[in-house]
Amino acid sequence: ALRYGGAMDGIEVMAVIFSKKLGVTVGIFVMVYNVILYVVCGLILSSWVLPLYSIVTYMAALKTIDFIVDGIDRSKSLMIVTQKADEICEQLSLEFEEGITIMDGKGYYSDARKSIIYIVLNRFQIIKAKNIVHNLDPNAFITISDIADVFTKNHASLDN
């Protein structure tokens, strides 16, 4: 229900509504709300045993909710700055059969011409991709980012 914008109870309704406006996930919104609630309960009851157990439980629930909402197939993007773009792209293409975009770049400090490779993979392919890149270019600079959604006409290619 949460994954498709539904809710199970009142706090989840608030979380679905306010999470996008506040720029947080549904799980984080629910967690913050419940931590505040349990801290108030701890102050009122002058006992911290049950509120602390509840907070620990909701920390586990936070990850579970975000996993359900975001899904198991969350994608990641890699930006690779290298001087060996052709070799790296060839190997990544052979291994993953995904679209790859190459952009021209220039190092600010080194003033050297470089290429920036952009590829979207699933989270299980990241370690293999890093190994391929660093085997071909140990000096390559790699950044990895979470991707919320990927939209293409043809899911097999991201080339422009």
Block mean pLDDT (10 aa), the chain, length 160:
60 75 77 86 87 84 71 81 94 91 91 93 88 94 85 54
The Cα–Cα gap between 66 and 2 comes to 9
Which DSSP category does 6 fall into?
A: -
Question: Helix H segments across the chain?
Answer: 10-22, 26-45, 49-70, 85-96, 126-136
Class of domain 75-147: alpha beta
Domain residue ranges of the chain, discontinuous segments joined by + = 2-70, 75-147
Q: Estimate to the nearest angstrom the gap between the alpha carbon of 6 and the chain centroid.
A: 22
pLDDT in tens, 122-160: 878 889 999 999 999 999 999 999 887 777 766 544 444
pTM comes to 0.57
The Cα–Cα gap between 28 and 144 comes to 22
pLDDT number for residue 47:
86
